[in-house]
Structure 1
Amino acid sequence: MSLSGKRILVAEDEMLVGLLLEEALLRQNCTVLGPMSTLAQTLEAAGTLPLDAAILDRNLRGEDVLPAAEILYGRGIPLLFCSGYGQDPHLPPHLRTVPVLLKPYLEAGMIAAICGLLREPCQLPGPPANTF
Protein backbone atom coordinates (compact mmCIF):
# COMPACT_ATOMS: atom_id res chain seq x y z
CA MET A 1 0.00 0.00 0.00
CA SER A 2 1.17 3.49 -0.76
CA LEU A 3 0.86 4.78 2.81
CA SER A 4 2.49 1.74 4.40
CA GLY A 5 4.93 2.72 7.13
CA LYS A 6 4.09 6.44 7.01
CA ARG A 7 4.04 8.11 10.43
CA ILE A 8 0.88 10.22 10.68
CA LEU A 9 0.10 12.57 13.56
CA VAL A 10 -3.63 12.74 14.33
CA ALA A 11 -4.95 15.64 16.43
CA GLU A 12 -8.68 15.24 17.07
CA ASP A 13 -10.59 15.96 20.28
CA GLU A 14 -13.77 14.07 19.37
CA MET A 15 -12.96 10.58 20.63
CA LEU A 16 -15.07 8.64 18.14
CA VAL A 17 -13.74 10.62 15.16
CA GLY A 18 -10.18 10.16 16.41
CA LEU A 19 -10.61 6.41 16.78
CA LEU A 20 -12.19 6.09 13.33
CA LEU A 21 -9.31 8.08 11.84
CA GLU A 22 -6.81 5.86 13.62
CA GLU A 23 -8.56 2.70 12.38
CA ALA A 24 -8.65 3.97 8.80
CA LEU A 25 -4.94 4.84 8.83
CA LEU A 26 -4.02 1.52 10.46
CA ARG A 27 -5.85 -0.27 7.62
CA GLN A 28 -3.47 1.58 5.28
CA ASN A 29 -0.55 0.21 7.38
CA CYS A 30 0.37 3.65 8.71
CA THR A 31 1.93 4.26 12.09
CA VAL A 32 -0.56 6.51 13.88
CA LEU A 33 0.69 8.97 16.48
CA GLY A 34 -2.34 9.92 18.50
CA PRO A 35 -5.10 10.74 18.41
CA MET A 36 -3.95 13.75 20.41
CA SER A 37 -6.93 15.46 22.01
CA THR A 38 -5.31 18.61 23.43
CA LEU A 39 -3.20 21.40 22.03
CA ALA A 40 -0.47 20.67 24.60
CA GLN A 41 -0.16 17.04 23.43
CA THR A 42 -0.20 18.13 19.80
CA LEU A 43 2.48 20.79 20.33
CA GLU A 44 4.80 18.29 21.99
CA ALA A 45 4.28 15.70 19.25
CA ALA A 46 4.63 18.27 16.46
CA GLY A 47 7.93 19.48 17.84
CA THR A 48 9.57 16.20 18.79
CA LEU A 49 8.29 13.17 16.89
CA PRO A 50 9.54 11.97 13.50
CA LEU A 51 6.51 12.45 11.23
CA ASP A 52 5.60 12.07 7.58
CA ALA A 53 2.31 14.02 7.74
CA ALA A 54 -0.30 15.38 10.14
CA ILE A 55 -4.09 15.60 10.27
CA LEU A 56 -5.15 18.45 12.54
CA ASP A 57 -8.63 19.31 13.78
CA ARG A 58 -8.62 23.12 13.82
CA ASN A 59 -10.16 23.30 17.29
CA LEU A 60 -8.96 21.08 20.13
CA ARG A 61 -11.11 21.54 23.23
CA GLY A 62 -11.61 25.20 22.45
CA GLU A 63 -7.99 25.94 21.49
CA ASP A 64 -6.86 26.79 17.96
CA VAL A 65 -4.36 24.26 16.62
CA LEU A 66 -2.42 26.95 14.67
CA PRO A 67 0.64 26.92 16.99
CA ALA A 68 1.12 23.21 16.21
CA ALA A 69 0.55 23.86 12.49
CA GLU A 70 3.29 26.51 12.60
CA ILE A 71 5.72 24.01 14.14
CA LEU A 72 4.88 21.35 11.55
CA TYR A 73 5.16 23.88 8.72
CA GLY A 74 8.55 24.98 10.03
CA ARG A 75 9.73 21.36 10.07
CA GLY A 76 8.53 20.83 6.49
CA ILE A 77 5.92 18.25 7.50
CA PRO A 78 2.87 18.17 5.21
CA LEU A 79 -0.37 18.82 7.05
CA LEU A 80 -4.09 18.71 6.52
CA PHE A 81 -6.67 20.68 8.49
CA CYS A 82 -10.02 19.08 9.34
CA SER A 83 -12.82 21.51 10.01
CA GLY A 84 -16.54 21.91 9.92
CA TYR A 85 -16.06 25.59 9.05
CA GLY A 86 -14.11 25.48 5.77
CA GLN A 87 -11.20 27.72 4.75
CA ASP A 88 -10.22 30.37 7.28
CA PRO A 89 -9.41 33.70 5.58
CA HIS A 90 -7.60 34.83 8.74
CA LEU A 91 -4.86 32.19 8.49
CA PRO A 92 -1.32 33.45 8.10
CA PRO A 93 -0.51 33.63 4.36
CA HIS A 94 1.91 30.68 4.44
CA LEU A 95 -0.81 28.39 5.91
CA ARG A 96 -3.57 29.37 3.47
CA THR A 97 -2.44 26.68 1.05
CA VAL A 98 -2.84 23.91 3.64
CA PRO A 99 -5.65 21.66 2.39
CA VAL A 100 -8.85 21.56 4.42
CA LEU A 101 -10.91 18.40 4.73
CA LEU A 102 -14.47 19.50 5.49
CA LYS A 103 -16.34 17.61 8.21
CA PRO A 104 -18.15 15.33 7.83
CA TYR A 105 -15.92 13.48 5.36
CA LEU A 106 -15.64 9.97 3.99
CA GLU A 107 -12.75 7.69 4.82
CA ALA A 108 -11.82 7.50 1.12
CA GLY A 109 -11.64 11.31 0.94
CA MET A 110 -9.30 11.44 3.94
CA ILE A 111 -7.04 8.72 2.51
CA ALA A 112 -6.97 10.49 -0.88
CA ALA A 113 -6.05 13.77 0.84
CA ILE A 114 -3.17 12.14 2.76
CA CYS A 115 -1.93 10.44 -0.42
CA GLY A 116 -2.04 13.82 -2.15
CA LEU A 117 -0.04 15.45 0.65
CA LEU A 118 2.63 12.78 0.40
CA ARG A 119 2.43 12.55 -3.40
CA GLU A 120 1.80 8.82 -3.13
CA PRO A 121 -0.44 6.72 -5.37
CA CYS A 122 -3.77 6.10 -3.68
CA GLN A 123 -5.26 2.76 -2.73
CA LEU A 124 -8.72 3.76 -1.60
CA PRO A 125 -10.80 1.61 0.72
CA GLY A 126 -13.81 -0.11 -0.75
CA PRO A 127 -17.32 -0.19 0.71
CA PRO A 128 -18.51 0.20 3.37
CA ALA A 129 -17.36 3.80 3.62
CA ASN A 130 -16.95 5.32 7.05
CA THR A 131 -17.97 8.93 7.58
CA PHE A 132 -16.10 10.99 10.17
Structure 2
Amino acid sequence: MPPSTSDAPLAGRRILVVEDVYFVADDIAAALRGAGAIVVGPAPNGPAALSLMASERLDAAVLDINLHDEAVYPVAEALRARGTPFVFATGYDRCSIPASYRGVPLWEKPFDSAALIRSLPALIDAVGGRRDRPTA
Protein backbone atom coordinates (compact mmCIF):
# COMPACT_ATOMS: atom_id res chain seq x y z
CA MET A 1 0.00 0.00 0.00
CA PRO A 2 1.48 3.43 -0.94
CA PRO A 3 2.19 5.82 1.94
CA SER A 4 -0.44 8.42 2.70
CA THR A 5 0.38 12.09 2.24
CA SER A 6 0.46 12.45 6.02
CA ASP A 7 3.14 9.72 6.13
CA ALA A 8 4.95 11.11 3.08
CA PRO A 9 4.20 14.83 2.79
CA LEU A 10 6.80 15.22 0.03
CA ALA A 11 5.82 12.12 -1.95
CA GLY A 12 7.29 12.31 -5.43
CA ARG A 13 8.64 15.84 -4.97
CA ARG A 14 12.13 16.36 -6.36
CA ILE A 15 14.25 18.28 -3.85
CA LEU A 16 17.77 19.52 -4.59
CA VAL A 17 20.11 19.43 -1.60
CA VAL A 18 23.17 21.68 -1.73
CA GLU A 19 25.40 21.09 1.30
CA ASP A 20 29.18 20.73 1.55
CA VAL A 21 29.36 18.78 4.82
CA TYR A 22 28.79 15.13 3.95
CA PHE A 23 27.13 14.08 7.21
CA VAL A 24 24.78 17.07 7.22
CA ALA A 25 23.89 16.46 3.56
CA ASP A 26 23.28 12.80 4.32
CA ASP A 27 21.02 13.66 7.28
CA ILE A 28 18.98 16.14 5.21
CA ALA A 29 18.70 13.65 2.33
CA ALA A 30 17.60 10.85 4.67
CA ALA A 31 14.94 13.07 6.24
CA LEU A 32 13.66 14.11 2.82
CA ARG A 33 13.57 10.51 1.58
CA GLY A 34 11.73 9.52 4.75
CA ALA A 35 9.06 12.06 3.81
CA GLY A 36 8.75 10.54 0.33
CA ALA A 37 10.91 13.03 -1.57
CA ILE A 38 13.21 12.19 -4.43
CA VAL A 39 16.54 13.74 -3.47
CA VAL A 40 18.53 15.39 -6.24
CA GLY A 41 22.16 15.46 -5.21
CA PRO A 42 23.36 16.24 -2.66
CA ALA A 43 25.63 18.70 -4.42
CA PRO A 44 28.70 19.79 -2.42
CA ASN A 45 29.27 23.07 -4.30
CA GLY A 46 27.73 25.59 -6.65
CA PRO A 47 29.03 24.18 -9.94
CA ALA A 48 27.75 20.69 -9.07
CA ALA A 49 24.36 22.15 -8.10
CA LEU A 50 24.11 24.16 -11.32
CA SER A 51 25.02 21.06 -13.32
CA LEU A 52 22.23 19.07 -11.64
CA MET A 53 19.81 21.93 -12.27
CA ALA A 54 20.61 21.81 -15.99
CA SER A 55 19.41 18.22 -16.24
CA GLU A 56 16.87 17.74 -13.47
CA ARG A 57 13.29 18.80 -12.82
CA LEU A 58 13.01 20.27 -9.34
CA ASP A 59 10.16 21.11 -6.99
CA ALA A 60 12.28 22.82 -4.31
CA ALA A 61 15.80 23.08 -2.92
CA VAL A 62 17.54 23.14 0.44
CA LEU A 63 20.69 25.29 0.31
CA ASP A 64 23.57 25.77 2.69
CA ILE A 65 24.88 29.31 2.22
CA ASN A 66 28.61 28.69 2.72
CA LEU A 67 30.02 25.91 0.55
CA HIS A 68 33.74 25.59 1.31
CA ASP A 69 34.07 29.39 1.50
CA GLU A 70 31.98 29.84 -1.67
CA ALA A 71 28.56 31.49 -1.40
CA VAL A 72 25.55 29.60 -2.75
CA TYR A 73 23.92 32.77 -4.10
CA PRO A 74 24.53 31.97 -7.82
CA VAL A 75 22.55 28.76 -7.27
CA ALA A 76 19.84 30.72 -5.45
CA GLU A 77 19.63 33.16 -8.38
CA ALA A 78 19.33 30.30 -10.87
CA LEU A 79 16.55 28.76 -8.76
CA ARG A 80 14.74 32.10 -8.63
CA ALA A 81 15.02 32.42 -12.41
CA ARG A 82 13.39 28.99 -12.76
CA GLY A 83 10.67 29.81 -10.24
CA THR A 84 11.83 27.02 -7.93
CA PRO A 85 11.28 27.65 -4.22
CA PHE A 86 14.18 27.15 -1.84
CA VAL A 87 15.16 27.44 1.79
CA PHE A 88 18.48 28.20 3.39
CA ALA A 89 19.70 25.61 5.92
CA THR A 90 22.73 27.31 7.37
CA GLY A 91 24.72 28.32 10.39
CA TYR A 92 24.31 31.97 9.38
CA ASP A 93 21.75 34.16 11.09
CA ARG A 94 19.26 36.26 9.14
CA CYS A 95 21.15 39.56 9.57
CA SER A 96 24.17 38.17 7.69
CA ILE A 97 22.11 37.33 4.59
CA PRO A 98 21.94 39.93 1.79
CA ALA A 99 18.73 41.96 1.77
CA SER A 100 17.60 40.42 -1.52
CA TYR A 101 17.32 37.04 0.24
CA ARG A 102 15.77 38.13 3.53
CA GLY A 103 12.38 36.77 2.48
CA VAL A 104 13.76 33.27 1.90
CA PRO A 105 12.88 30.83 4.70
CA LEU A 106 15.90 30.30 6.94
CA TRP A 107 16.62 27.17 8.97
CA GLU A 108 19.53 27.88 11.29
CA LYS A 109 21.77 24.90 12.04
CA PRO A 110 21.33 22.81 13.97
CA PHE A 111 17.70 22.65 12.84
CA ASP A 112 14.81 20.30 13.33
CA SER A 113 14.64 18.30 10.11
CA ALA A 114 11.04 17.26 10.90
CA ALA A 115 10.02 20.93 11.00
CA LEU A 116 11.82 21.52 7.70
CA ILE A 117 9.94 18.59 6.15
CA ARG A 118 6.63 19.96 7.42
CA SER A 119 7.34 23.40 5.91
CA LEU A 120 8.44 22.35 2.41
CA PRO A 121 5.02 21.27 1.05
CA ALA A 122 3.55 24.70 1.87
CA LEU A 123 6.54 26.42 0.26
CA ILE A 124 6.10 24.36 -2.89
CA ASP A 125 2.34 24.97 -2.91
CA ALA A 126 2.91 28.72 -2.44
CA VAL A 127 4.31 28.84 -5.97
CA GLY A 128 1.34 26.90 -7.28
CA GLY A 129 2.92 23.48 -7.02
CA ARG A 130 4.81 24.40 -10.18
CA ARG A 131 7.29 21.76 -11.21
CA ASP A 132 10.04 23.33 -13.24
CA ARG A 133 11.74 21.90 -16.29
CA PRO A 134 15.45 21.87 -17.04
CA THR A 135 16.66 24.60 -19.31
CA ALA A 136 17.98 23.15 -22.55
TM-score normalised by the chain length of structure 1: 0.82
Query: What code does the residue aligned with 1:81 have?
Result: F
Task: Point out where structure 1 has 5 or more consecutive residues left out of the alignment.
Answer: 121-132
Structure 1: distance between partners of 2:33 and 2:97: 34
Contact 1:89–1:96, Cα closer than 8 Å, also in 2: no
Shift of 1:89: 5.2
Contact 2:31–2:114, Cα closer than 8 Å, also in 1: no
Q: Is the deviation greater in 58-67 or in 38-47? A: 38-47
Query: What code does the residue aligned with 1:39 have?
Result: G
Structure 1: distance between partners of 2:56 and 2:123: 18
* Structure 1 residues 43-101: Cα deviation after superposition (integer angstroms, max 9, x where no partner): 222344210000000011110000000000010000001111111455252x3211111
**Equivalent residue for 2:132?**
none
Q: What is the percentage of aligned positions where both structures have the same residue? A: 36
Matches within 5 A, 1:1-132: 1=5, 2-88=9-95, 91-93=98-100, 95-119=101-125
How many residues in Structure 1 have an aligned counterpart in Structure 2? 119
Structure 2: distance between partners of 1:92 and 1:45: 27
Shift of 1:103: 0.4
Contact 1:47–1:71, Cα closer than 8 Å, also in 2: no
Change (3 A) 1:28 1:47: same
Contact 1:9–1:54, Cα closer than 8 Å, also in 2: yes
What SS class does the counterpart of residue 119 from structure 1 fall into?
helix
CA RMSD of aligned residues (A): 1.7
Task: Point out where structure 2 has 5 or more consecutive residues left out of the alignment.
Answer: 127-136
Structure 2: distance between partners of 1:96 and 1:33: 25
